[in-house]
Structure 1
């Protein structure tokens, strides 16, 4: 793995030199939201940054500073959670894409540690593609479902929720074990109402601890096994993206 090109730590002459070898930038995007009693409020930020560093180290892409706020509607009433709107998040991506384009960057990869951001990132990527002809890829732990099969032991609490449970806690134990307080991990399986998937529902209405599953079953070994496959898939997608971008610009 090569040294990571951290955009914010380069001087401008260093940036100009580095730009001769890469024209792709990676933006980690997280959120500030509750993650139970055992994970910090900035869990999605530290995970997105650590994940993006692994990808940048293998692909040579520039690593941008982590965008620390995201769309957190479902959990915004939990103590400590902060949220911005989808429109704000989309506007940030559009403005950043224009700025990157001015710096001769040919493509942007968004790596989100927070699933709630993905709708806005997908819309932003479409808008940037149409308005600027600037390609944007958006990733959230690619191949996560396949990677977790046979590794996770506890049942999931909901098919579309990965939050402070065995899976997310294992990922954090792999990427940043220093932020995890496993002695505080708990197990909670909410009783979801029948209309949970089809009407807006604040998650504090169905959950007390902020853990959606069994965090006590998490381990670093499980997280390592999952992240090896996830990082491999992300690197594969980024390399494909780089090739497509450079063919377009030839």
Structure 2
């Protein structure tokens, strides 16, 4: 397999012909509290996606580093696009890939705010029989392990994310700032009053931008998360590579 961006137009022909599944990493560039770099989400997605480089049937696309992050806009450095813009970008990118014959993909997602747009993109691509491209959220692939490793509800710049980035890019984590992140963090995502959600933006319920207990972060635990998530992603890629394209389309209307 290969990284598409490192091919030439000549060598890409062979790489695309050999590929059964594309891997498309997407994330965000947004605040992750005082201890983590803004690129946490797209760096995580890219790291997981690149574990597919040893699979002959896969080709990895360039990373999409900006996502749907308006809820973090009050924190410095956050970049964001509208959900419709993000959805269209993903849809059109995978449509252009389908023109080259690769019509199955896994979208490796590093940011929860992208999830709804990715689901809509996947449905549209399938309904139009252009491509089958299920999104894969890395945190869903390690949720059982994270529950064993950390005592937190979490949700953002928490112990799980901090541990993963610490393992992947220790230079992008400031361990001395983890206490400040937790001091200003909320225990769980959002805020509710009498059953109504009133926490529209992160600033509404978190002073530091973090949600969870980042002081529990540990790079060795991050390594465990990365290895476990990589195994789950590999299993998904194998399943999709073996699945006939005709079996991926929506069932006909009754």
**TM-score by structure 1 length?**
0.88
Instruction: Out of 216-225 and 182-191, give the one that drifted further.
Output: 182-191
Q: Alignment length, in residue pairs?
A: 241
Residue in 2 that maps onto 1:208: 207
Pick aligned residue for 2:160 from 167, 170, 176: 167
Q: Judge conservation of contact 1:31–1:71 (CA < 8 Å) in 2.
A: yes
Does the alignment pair 1:98 with 2:112? no
Task: Give 1:1-250 correspondences, 5 Å limit.
Answer: 5-58=2-55, 60-141=57-138, 142-152=140-150, 154-157=151-154, 161=155, 163-186=156-179, 187-188=182-183, 189-190=185-186, 193-195=191-193, 198-199=197-198, 201-245=200-244
Alpha-carbon displacement from aligned partner over 1:125-145 (angstroms, at most 9, x marks no partner): 001111234111100114321
After TM superposition, give the deviation of residue 174 of structure 1 in Å: 2.2
Report the RMSD for the aligned CA atoms in angstroms: 2.1
- The answer on whether the counterparts of 1:106 and 1:245 sit within 8 Å (CA) in structure 2 is no
DSSP 3-state at the match of 1:28: strand
Rounded to whole Å, the distance in 2 between the matches of 1:167 and 1:102 is 38
**C-alpha separation in 1, matches of 2:104 and 2:203:** 38
Normalising by the residue count of structure 2, what TM-score does the alignment of the two structures yield? Answer: 0.87
Structure-2 separation of matches of 1:212 and 1:66: 25
The answer to whether the 8 A contact 2:191-2:198 is kept is no
Between 11-20 and 214-223, report the one with greater CA deviation.
11-20
Give the whole-Å Cα distance in 2 for the aligned partners of 1:58 and 1:174: 23
